[in-house]
Amino acid sequence: MSFSVIVPARLASTRLPGKPLADIEGLPMIVRVARRAALSKARQVVVATDSPAVLGACEAHGVQAVLTRADHVSGSDRLAEACELLGLDGTDLVVNAQGDEPLIAPAMIDACAELLAARPQCVMSTVAHALDDTPEGAAEFANPNVVKVVTDKNGLALYFSRAPMPFWRDGQGQPSPGSALRHVGLYAYHAGFLRRFPGLSLSPLEQIESLEQLRVLWHGERIAVHLSPEKPGPGVDTPEDLERVRAVFKAGRG
């Protein structure tokens, strides 16, 4: 099995301006993400960015990058253009690694790609892990910034939501053991579907939840979900998140 990793990177960020270029122990965050992804089994790792500054930072550190249009609505749209620029075949597998996940586990990238390769009836695969019934798990379950997913018996996604689900009637709002799954924003696609995705009409559910993967389900396509035994490393959305990740690298654990 062969696959590529593409990392979409926008320079603009509401909560953390210039996020892809944020310094983490001497390297821009986007370079940290690309180097981490390169530890997977991917045959290539490419950053897709709308910023000449990000492109220059990648090239200065030996990271392959392509410059995409600045008017893309979503990261998936940017990936679709990157597939065209890279000349990927419609059957090629592409993993979308988020540009603000410098601690992403390479094994999780591999598992996501391998799952899609094994599920020909699916156009996408993604990752989730079980929330536990600790106070931390309960807080994540209730947090609208933490996306939850429910699956069928075959591990195919039924729905993604910011709301607590499934709601455990007798658990007083606590996550039910083994059934509450936190969605991890890591995706694998066939390049052909990525090219088709921007042409799919928006779904009402996608607009309500602000979750573009709901467009895929709305149009009757299937998404396979890899259940990871471990949580992903912390991502970077805020200045506080950035300081936490910097501390991990400073301690030599990155």
- Please state the pTM of the whole predicted model: 0.93
pLDDT band at 111 (very low <50, low <70, confident <90, very high): very high
Counting Cα atoms < 13 Å in the Cβ hemisphere of 88 gives 29
Task: Please state the rounded mean pLDDT for residues 109-127.
Answer: 97
Please give the full DSSP string across 39-96, using - where no structure is assigned: TSS-SEEEEEES-HHHHHHHHHTT-EEEE--S--SSHHHHHHHHHHHHT--TT-EEEE
In-domain check, residue 9 = yes
Residue 177 pLDDT exceeds 70: no
pLDDT band at 173 (very low <50, low <70, confident <90, very high): low
In-domain check, residue 249 = no
Percent of the chain with pLDDT over 90: 72
Residue whose C-alpha is closest to residue 35's, from 97, 120, 121, 81: 97
| Residue appearing with tokens 């779904």 | 203
Task: Please state the rounded mean pLDDT for residues 5-16.
Answer: 86
In-domain check, residue 241 = no
* Residue 106 near residue 5, CB atoms below 8 Å: no
Task: Please state the rounded mean pLDDT for residues 19-43.
Answer: 96
Q: Which domain holds residue 104?
A: 3-233
In-domain check, residue 253 = no
In-domain check, residue 217 = yes
At 198 the pLDDT is: 86
Residue 67 pLDDT exceeds 90: yes
pLDDT band at 147 (very low <50, low <70, confident <90, very high): very high
Task: Please state the rounded mean pLDDT for residues 153-168.
Answer: 94
For the segment 69-79, what is each residue's pLDDT rounded down to a tens digit? 988 877 788 89
Amino acid at 11: L
Residue 159's domain is classified under what CATH number? 3.90.550.10
| CA 91 to chain CA centroid, nearest Å | 20
In-domain check, residue 129 = yes
Number of domains in the chain: 1
In-domain check, residue 145 = yes
At 2 the pLDDT is: 94
pLDDT band at 165 (very low <50, low <70, confident <90, very high): very high
